[in-house]
A and B are shown apart, each in its own frame.
Chain A
Amino acid sequence: LAPWVPVVGLEIHAQISSNSKLFSGSQVQFAAPPNSLVSFFDASLPGTLPVLNRRCVEAAVMTGLALNCSINKKSLFDRKHYFYADLPAGYQITQQRVPIAVNGRLSYSLCIDNKMSQMVTKTVRIKQIQLEQDSGKSLHDDTRSQTLVDLNRAGVGLMEVVMEPDMCCGEEAAAAVRELQLILQTLGSSQAVMAEGKLRVDANVSVHHPGEPYGVRTEVKNINSIRFLAKAVDYEIQRQIEELENGGTILNETRAFDSKLGCTVPMRDKEGKQDYRFMPEPNLPPLILYDAKSLPANMNHQQVVNIDWIHERLPDLPSVKRAKLVEQYGILPEHSFTLLNEDGLTEFFENVVKQTQMKPKKVIGWILNDLLSYLKQHSLTVKESPVSPFLLADLLNLLEKKEISSTAAKQVLAELWKGEGKAPLEIVKEKELELIQDQKELEQICQAVIDGQENEVIMMVLG
């Protein structure tokens, strides 16, 4: 049986973190009364026009720079036409011909064979980033055979990030999306939370034999978490391989991931190839961006987006943060991944380090093995931890000063989890866990043990 090469590409829609929408002044907010965050433009009433939100442009430029893209100083807006109840205009304003950023790359890391100690770095090319409008929300009421439409989300700004088919499995896709999520959250350009629909991922999957042309690809939608992304991609790869090995063919179709059944199914309402009849958006001139060199002297700075100005103010990206943690604290690279992966864990670790004499290289063990595993067992976030950095530092100081043993420290920690507000020293005294430091006392104890075990001592001395 000839080997199969799976090919995975991703289309990611990240909702831009802004107060108002991409082309109108209505508010961007999750969970508000239906149709309360809708302007006349969002409802597509005649006579309304789009007005571009500068914050959305800045968010896209930041993201493009963080993903090593070329920023197009001139980009254009287009209309993409299709009919659906939650798209009142009958078209979406997007950037199909010349988007705001192109040709970037994203580096991400994977553990080989599930071992944290062996990490490998991979890169995926970013084809482009484009600004576009989100659609409203449809609630399907099958019992009454109708759809309820809420336009609160219609017109919210999106950045579509297109990743080239450089990935080969669910694990790579998940790792790439996770890194993108961390980058977006660090930049603040998107909250990128999949659960709230602020980050949506569609996967394009195909398989082929090495040396042969790429196979027919399918698009997989309705993926609601990073874990499900890996599952959906791997399932679809397997489905295609089985189909082809049984002599079948792959249809160029859109499929939905069913998380309950763990499989992909063909989607309704997506029959036949769509013809979106792209045309230039007649109501919007080209979007011009400037840099330090091209900046016109007498222009109102409120009307200017300066790429260099934004570049200078980019925060440390996750990869830089990790390198700094490794350098500053002498921890391992895989430790830095775990620290950044859990919301608030880096701050927790750094706070403990500040308050204890114990070396960071030792502290990290307590953070990753003891603290984190406890939190995971009880499904708690770092912020919900009953043990604060102060308490943990206090405990580690006792250990560092050799007032208690490592085993005793673990016992104290187990008590601290109960969150009863007791200080570590209190618990040590209560449970009599203090290490005996007095030489004479230790000799007495040893002597007592030897005295009580005469026979065993004789046998040991005789060899």
Chain B
Amino acid sequence: QKVTVEVLDHLERLALVDFRDSEGVERLQKAIQFADQLHEVNTDGVEPMDSVLEDRCLYLREDDVTEGNCTKELLKNAREKVEEYFVAPPGNIPLPKLEERETFLQGS
């Protein structure tokens, strides 16, 4: 079962990854096949493990103020700032629609 162009487009929008060319898509294809091997294991009646940390103790912190007050340091990496605010574009800039994308699957 091949990964369709629609699925790739959907993934690119959700995760902002760029599969770039057919080699990238092929790598994705192989990764899915590798993971699909999990289906060969019979898991009837077995509770799923959702974290390797499941036997660890979740540490609880006291409600004290111990951090913050480092505005200058945080803004040091910002490309643009306005009076101690980070600056971002007015909204999410959507990726162009599938039909309009020239660079989609370059060199495929």
Contacts and interface: CB of A to CB of B under 8 A. Distances in A.
Contact of A285 (B53, B61, B66): B53
A269 interface: yes
Interface in B42-90: 50-51, 53-71, 74-75, 82-90
B92 interface: yes
Contacts of B59: 51-52, 303
B35 interface: no
B16 interface: yes
A269 B89 CA distance: 13
A147 B90 contact: yes
B63 A52 contact: no
A150 B63 contact: no
Given A34-B84, A85-B88, A27 B68 contact: yes
B41 interface: no
Interface string A133-148: 0000011111001111
B58 to A, nearest CB: 5
Given A19-B65, A26-B67, A139-B85, A35 B74 contact: yes
A278 B81 CA distance: 32
Nearest to A283: B53
Interface stretch (A53-61, A249-257, A431-439): A53-61
Interface string A314-334: 000000000000000000000
B14 interface: yes
A76 B53 CA distance: 11
Contacts of A38: 68, 70-71, 74
A20 B69 contact: no
Nearest to A277: B14
A305 B59 CA distance: 11
B107 interface: no
Interface residues of B, number: 38
B64 A19 contact: yes
A54 B70 CA distance: 24
Interface string A293-304: 000000000110
Given A34-B71, A286-B54, A148 B63 contact: no
B57 A285 contact: yes
Nearest to A37: B68
A43 interface: yes
A25 B55 CA distance: 25
A246 B76 CA distance: 57
Given A54-B62, A76-B50, A26 B57 contact: no
Contacts of A84: 92
B96 interface: no
A149 B87 contact: yes
Contacts of B56: 285
A30 interface: no
Contact of B64 (A20, A33, A275): A20
A43 B70 CA distance: 11
Contact of B61 (A25, A39, A280, A282): A25
Contacts of B62: 54-55, 302
Interface centre among A18, A146, A269 (most CB of B within 10 A): A146
Contacts of B64: 19-20, 25
Interface in B1-29: 10, 14-16
Given A37-B68, A38-B70, A146 B89 contact: yes
B60 A147 contact: no
B88 A146 contact: yes
Nearest to B85: A148
A141 B88 CA distance: 10
A39 B16 CA distance: 26
Contacts of A140: 90
Given A38-B71, A52-B58, A277-B14, A25 B65 contact: yes
A268 interface: yes
Given A20-B66, A27-B68, A268 B91 contact: yes
B87 A148 contact: yes
Nearest to A39: B67
Interface in A13-31: 18-20, 24-27
7 contacts: A20-B65, A36-B68, A54-B63, A57-B60, A84-B92, A146-B90, A280-B51
Interface of B: 10, 14-16, 50-51, 53-71, 74-75, 82-92
Q: Top 5 closest A-B pairs, CB basis?
A: A25-B66, A85-B88, A26-B68, A55-B63, A39-B67
